[in-house]
């Protein structure tokens, strides 16, 4: 787009790069596994041998072990139980690992080159039963990329064994809220690695921030901020911190959702009277009204092929999930169980939707099979909300309440594996799992 049309559209570009210069502390989230899968694959990740003279700032093999464990699809053997600590093929005695009931084995070593200031990680993966080597790779990177390197190993191992792309190198966005003693509020929009580490603050404000949504290329985040005292939708480029105010109409400006091709944003506006879902073309800012009903219509989510949206509407008298094709704009109701079903999200294959379901005053995340209409409750904490699905469709992250604070939790889509991502202080809410980063 050229500069003139850009100005005509009156999009505000605000540089908040200065923010990154300030000592804003990002909050790291820690992992706490509460439930593993009973079908988990037994894997032994032997501590990688350090061949350099000094200590390595990140425990690479430990990161790999934890990644695999967290997925719920693997059960990593505790180091104390290992009979030997091999670092290469010649040191591996398969009989030992069979004895320990292991299906797979990961070994490796790390070197540091003072010449190019890079770490070199060599690792191998073996199938214990067939006694064959599945992977042998050497990766190298600087100190700051050691965690990336570890997550890449996890992704490779996971893909080789399960056949599914791993999500260990993806990120999560979320909002933290801290309340001061005088009731003052501190909202921060943050992003972190999928394991909760290396968090970064994208926006810090005293006013509410909600509904972060990743662009399909994972380079931008759309979100709602009340920093002017009124809600507005912003789109911020992660790398530069540059952002545009894309929607600040009278009334509601909320629930942004990128189309799968990134060309448009579905969002909720009430500029014409009440909450309706609109489509905004990101090039021209032209709006198209998708719903037209006196009831509340909000929380749109796109089908992976970009042809349908699902959304929340209370046109039946209570909030329920509806599906609508963008070609005919005729909504059909999908949920019928209970008086509260809201904020749907499509699964990566478009076959299921995940949403917030209320039963007996308890709010949980449920999955609906779009083919046979069967519903399954995946979570059991009382105030669950904001489900967001990992890009490989295997897990979903959601917000829940623990004690007085909001925390993030992850559950596998089969409901088997569960873990919390608690924060040391304040509320954590509104998680959004990023797409694959490359």
Partner 1 sequence: MKMIAKKNTLALALSLTVLAGCSSTDTQPVDDMAGMDQGAETTALDNAGDVSATELSEAEKAEMEKQAKMKEEAALREIRTFYFDFDKSDIKAESRLPLMAHSKFLAANPNVKVVVEGHGDERGTKEYNMALGERRAKSVERFLVVNGASRDQLEVVSFGEERPADMGHDEAAWAKNRRAVVEYK
Q: Does 13 bind partner 1 (CB under 8 A)?
A: no
Tell me if 266 sits within 8 A of 290, measured CB to CB: yes
Stretch that binds partner 1, among 34-42, 104-112, 267-275, 416-424 (CB under 8 A): 267-275
Tokens of 140: 């190298």
Q: Does 408 bind partner 1 (CB under 8 A)?
A: no
Q: Does 287 bind partner 1 (CB under 8 A)?
A: no
Q: Which of residues 290-329 bind partner 1 (CB under 8 A)?
A: 296, 298-299, 312, 314, 318-319
Q: Which of residues 116-175 bind partner 1 (CB under 8 A)?
A: none
Query: How many binding residues for partner 1 (CB under 8 A)?
Result: 37
**What residues contact residue 399 under an 8 Å CB cut-off, 6+ apart?**
384, 385, 386, 406, 407, 408, 409, 428, 429, 430, 431
* CA dihedral sign, ordered 245, 301, 37, 404: positive
Q: Does 416 bind partner 1 (CB under 8 A)?
A: no
Stretch that binds partner 1, among 15-23, 129-137, 224-232, 368-376 (CB under 8 A): 224-232
CB of 207 to partner 1, least distance (A): 8
Q: Does 195 bind partner 1 (CB under 8 A)?
A: no
Tell me if 411 sits within 8 A of 424, measured CB to CB: no
Give the DSSP letter string of 41-75: EEEEEPPPEE-SSS--SS-HHHHHHHHHHHTSSEE
Stretch that binds partner 1, among 80-88, 128-136, 158-166, 206-214 (CB under 8 A): 206-214
* Closer by beta carbon to partner 1, 211 or else 379: 211
Q: Which of residues 331-370 bind partner 1 (CB under 8 A)?
A: 339-340, 342-343, 356, 358, 363
Using CB under 8 A, which of 159, 230, 293, 315 touches partner 1? 230
CB of 383 to partner 1, least distance (A): 7
CA dist., res. 149 & res. 367, Å (int):
34
CA dist., res. 251 & res. 267, Å (int):
13
Q: Does 396 bind partner 1 (CB under 8 A)?
A: no
Stretch that binds partner 1, among 7-15, 68-76, 80-88, 270-278 (CB under 8 A): 270-278
* Closer by beta carbon to partner 1, 168 or else 311: 311
CA dist., res. 278 & res. 288, Å (int):
5
Sheet (strand 171-179) strand order: 200-205, 185-193, 171-179, 427-433
Q: Does 178 bind partner 1 (CB under 8 A)?
A: no
* Closer by beta carbon to partner 1, 69 or else 268: 268
Cα 200–Cα 143–Cα 239 angle in degrees, nearest 5? 35
* Closer by beta carbon to partner 1, 147 or else 343: 343
Q: Does 248 bind partner 1 (CB under 8 A)?
A: no
CA dist., res. 195 & res. 31, Å (int):
7
CA dist., res. 420 & res. 63, Å (int):
17
CA dist., res. 37 & res. 162, Å (int):
14
**What residues contact residue 299 under an 8 Å CB cut-off, 6+ apart?**
255, 268, 311, 312, 342, 343, 344
Q: Does 393 bind partner 1 (CB under 8 A)?
A: no
Q: Does 189 bind partner 1 (CB under 8 A)?
A: no
CB of 234 to partner 1, least distance (A): 16
Q: Does 87 bind partner 1 (CB under 8 A)?
A: no
CA dist., res. 280 & res. 286, Å (int):
6
Using CB under 8 A, which of 235, 266, 275, 407 touches partner 1? 275
Q: Does 109 bind partner 1 (CB under 8 A)?
A: no
| Ordered alpha helix ranges (H), 44-197 | 60-70, 94-99, 146-162
Secondary structure percentages of the chain, helix, strand, coil, to 5: 10, 45, 45
Tokens of 33: 């596994």
Using CB under 8 A, which of 27, 58, 66, 430 touches partner 1? 430
Distance of CA 336 to the CA centre of its chain: 28
Stretch that binds partner 1, among 58-66, 89-97, 136-144, 207-215 (CB under 8 A): 207-215
Tokens of 173: 């966005």
Using CB under 8 A, which of 268, 335, 379, 423 touches partner 1? 268
CA dist., res. 215 & res. 237, Å (int):
10
Using CB under 8 A, which of 149, 202, 252, 411 touches partner 1? 252
Residues that bind partner 1 (CB under 8 A): 179, 208, 210-211, 226, 229-231, 251-252, 254-255, 268, 270, 274-275, 296, 298-299, 312, 314, 318-319, 339-340, 342-343, 356, 358, 363, 383, 385-386, 401, 404, 429-430
């Amino acid at each position: 787009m050229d500069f003139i049309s850009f100005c005509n559209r009156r999009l505000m570009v605000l540089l908040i790069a200065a923010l990154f210069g300030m000592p804003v502390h990002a909050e790291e989230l820690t992992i706490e596994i509460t439930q593993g899968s009973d079908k988990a694959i037994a894997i032994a990740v032997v501590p990688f041998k350090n061949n350099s003279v000094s200590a390595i700032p990140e425990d690479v093999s430990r990161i790999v072990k934890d990644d695999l464990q967290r997925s719920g699809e693997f059960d990593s053997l505790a180091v104390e139980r290992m009979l030997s600590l091999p670092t290469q093929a010649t040191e591996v005695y398969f009989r030992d690992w069979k004895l320990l009931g292991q299906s797979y084995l990961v070994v490796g070593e790390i070197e540091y080159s003072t010449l190019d200031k890079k770490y070199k990680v060599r690792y191998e993966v073996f199938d214990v039963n067939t006694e064959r080597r599945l992977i042998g790779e050497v990766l190298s990177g600087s100190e700051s990329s050691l965690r990336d390197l570890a997550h890449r190993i996890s992704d490779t191992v996971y893909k080789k064994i399960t056949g599914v792309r791993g999500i260990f190198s993806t990120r999560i966005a979320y909002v933290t809220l801290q309340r001061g003693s005088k009731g003052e509020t501190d909202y921060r929009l943050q992003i972190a690695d999928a394991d909760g580490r290396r968090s970064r603050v994208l926006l810090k404000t005293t006013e509410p921030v909600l509904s972060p949504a990743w662009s399909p290329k994972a380079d931008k985040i759309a979100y709602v901020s009340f920093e002017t005292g009124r809600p507005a939708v912003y789109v911020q480029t992660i790398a530069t911190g540059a952002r545009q105010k894309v929607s600040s109409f009278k009334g509601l400006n909320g629930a942004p959702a990128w189309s799968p091709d990134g060309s448009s944003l579905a969002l909720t506006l009430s500029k014409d009277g009440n909450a309706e879902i609109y489509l905004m073309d990101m090039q021209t800012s032209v709006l198209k009204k998708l719903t037209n009903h006196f009831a509340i219509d909000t929380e749109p989510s796109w089908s992976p092929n970009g042809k349908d949206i699902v959304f929340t509407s209370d046109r039946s008298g209570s909030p329920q999930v509806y599906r609508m094709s963008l070609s005919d704009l005729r909504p059909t109701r999908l949920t019928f169980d209970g008086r509260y079903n809201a904020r749907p999200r499509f699964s990566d294959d478009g076959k299921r939707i995940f949403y917030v379901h209320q039963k007996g005053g308890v709010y949980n995340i449920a999955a609906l099979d779009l083919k046979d209409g069967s519903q399954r409750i995946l979570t059991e904490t009382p105030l669950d909300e904001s489900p967001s699905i990992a890009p490989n469709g295997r897990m979903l992250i959601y917000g829940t309440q623990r004690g007085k604070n909001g925390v993030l939790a992850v559950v596998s889509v089969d409901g088997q594996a569960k873990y919390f991502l608690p924060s040391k202080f304040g509320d954590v809410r509104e998680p959004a799992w990023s797409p694959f980063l490359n």
